Structure 1
Amino acid sequence: MNSLIIRSALIISASTLLLNSCGDDRSEKPDTAPGKSNTAAGSPAPAPETPAELSTETIAAWAAPILNLDSVAELSSIEPGPPDARGYRYCKLTYTIKENRYSKDFAPEELNSERQLINESANRAMRPESHYLMQIGAPAEYIKDEDRQAKPLPENLQQQLSSMTELAMPSVYTLRHESGSKLVIPIRFRAEQNGGEWQLSEFAFDGADLTRELDFSNTIPQSKLPENPNILTPEFIEARKAEIRAKADTFNRDIAALITERETAARASLVQREAAVEEEARRAAAQAAENQARADELRQACQKALAADTVYTGEWTRDKRFGQLSLHISEVSTHDDALQFFGEISDPKIPGSNVHIEGRCAYSRDEENRYTVRITIYDGFYDPNQPTAEVYDAKDGYMELKLDDNGKLSGTMSCVAWQDNPAKTFSINLSKETPGKKRK
């Protein structure tokens, strides 16, 4: 209704103007007075030029080298948006993938179950001998460290295992981007005019960072794939599984035969080990008896050689001096590993000389098959003018003698204080007296 009223008013106004023109042929003459412009008073001034809008072509040309997708995809569309209060502009770029792109992968997870089956079969085939021995009840002490090592596979089984492993761990090409699929990339940037030209800057993704998603460096276009590639598809996986399982059936049958052989070998080995253990026990018992007899012999020989009321006589020497010496054992006590005795030493030519001693002799012998007799010297009666008085006067005098099977006692007599002066040491050589000569 309003539209109709506006049109009527315009018609009436136009008619009035027409009537006035027809009724009065006087026309206004232009004012040519000096100083007045010929331009009509009502003419508008020229309008300033409107700035050119930011074109999608400008945005595309600027963003293309930043995204670097020309070899992978084609730009399909650009949807620019208005600037925000901070002066940022927004745009959504849509790219179309040119051709299928694949990643090269190794041992796809779709074959995990097959790999597990292969490993289980291999582990079963490589069980150590200890497994079979324990399975038939072998005691732990029969099992050696080398029995616990995994058994290597026979050559034919190793070849089968390698073949299955290769099938279960193939290099495959996985489709990552399909030809014709879209990449939608929202971006943000600043745009300013400078000298009539747009200058764009501060490129950023609007939202999540898509740097990794737009990295195609680890993908291969279909046109660059090798001849007859393994494309990861359900059909490829099913065919590969069937091939692996067929080989695994043969492998497991051969393993069963191998296990039977190793079980038989383990039973024979257990019999041998039991016999070896029994033999070792007999040998050890015989050796123990021999050792005990030898120990008894050594002990008895020592106890006989150093029995109570035994006398050894001989001489001492130092440099060019010498003298006589007698060793009398008066009291003996025996122990598990040694003999202990008390007695005295004296000079047979000096009446009344009597120096007290305490000695010990282990039942074991040295590399020359001699006993070692160690004696501590105490105070007593002796000739202070004799050289031996230097030892008898000391509080740390001792004798270290060797006893052989011939009843010879030989060694040294000294004192601890002479350790740095071995020239003062006396040499001792004694022999066991025969019963007829034993002193009363």
Structure 2
Amino acid sequence: MSDPQRDLVVACAQSEPGDRSTWLILADWLEERGDERAHWLTLVYGREVPSLLELRAFHRWQQSQPRFFPQYQHSDAGWLVVRPSPRDLPELASLMPHVWPTQVMVDVKTMSECRRLLRWFRNPQIPPWGQIGLRIGITLFERVSTDLWGLPLRRLELLPDAGFEACEWNVDLPELPKLQSLSALELVRIAEYPLRQIWSHSNLRSANLSAVGTYALSEIPKWGAAPRWHSLEWKLIDRNEAWQWPSLPQLPDLRELRMTNCVSDLFSLAFAPNLGALEYHGLDEWEPANMEPIVQQSGLMQLVLGKELRFRPGSLARLGELPNLRELILRENRHLTDADLVELQACRQLETLDLTGCRQLGSRGLEAVAAIPSLRGVGLRDCFRMDRATVEAVQARRPDCQFWFLD
């Protein structure tokens, strides 16, 4: 091991709790050498996009061309998202030659601050970054600035300014012909008119429709041709109101769907027949019948089920009906039991299982998942009822599967 490599390992061992940068650099170094342990480092440490501080760390350890991992990449374009504040932009510009590839996503707190920032972007001395995005705080009923019109934004996020419990976005979508991703975060409620504009935008491929009322959604069938979205995030604000899922038009290009606050017995995926990845969050107890919309998605390869879900006997066993399911993520589910893991033995094609933070699991559950012949990796970080000796014993019997465990 060379001196820089040894120093990097020492830095990992001495890193502060919560500091991911050195571990991610080590993962990148292992990936270069074809070491499969790189995947498990990113599974544990790579669920968030890197910060400017972490980019500095990559540069300091002479990782001038880090590939970065799928957790960092924009799902459509494969661009790393960096989120600096406006005052960090000059330094970020100086780091640009050392980072590949990059989308700049700038956090600004108010529209007035945004207008000042636009002058910086239009400075001819600034490198012409191919992907630019803004994350803007808007106050109650504030109009999205017309100064954005014509700017080559690829991504736009709107969120409530500090001090406001909710904002109503009921104004024109700016003329942004290159826009590919739009998010209205947290409590920015989207009214019917701007939702119709979002629906009809010709280039939009990724949409976050968080805080969309069911009334606005009920109007969608009247709007004509469906968009060519690849990725959609959906959070309903009227959780207990039943509206007609079957009336939604088909979205045949949709590959990624994240749903929050939906009621399982009113839940349907008929509008998205070709999903490859699904993430579902709710507060329900799931009966086997509630799995029906999921098991009908024969092309589903990745499934994330939220930490508040409770699974009745027989529910998880139905996932064995998915012929292409390769990755299942059940992170931080405090209701998950060993009996639930026994049911996962029906998933004969499963390769990756993430149980990080599932604190009710013990040795019986571990033995059950170890019996899945196709499994190649299991995340067990913060599974406090498991001990290292048990994990190592199972690992010895399954050398072809990596059990990632930190006590």
With the shorter chain as reference, the TM-score category is under 0.3
TM (norm. structure 2) is: 0.15
Question: Which entry has the higher C-alpha Rg, 1 or 2?
Answer: 1
TM (norm. structure 1) is: 0.15
Identify, as 1 or 2, the structure richer in helix. 1
Identify, as 1 or 2, the structure richer in strand. 1
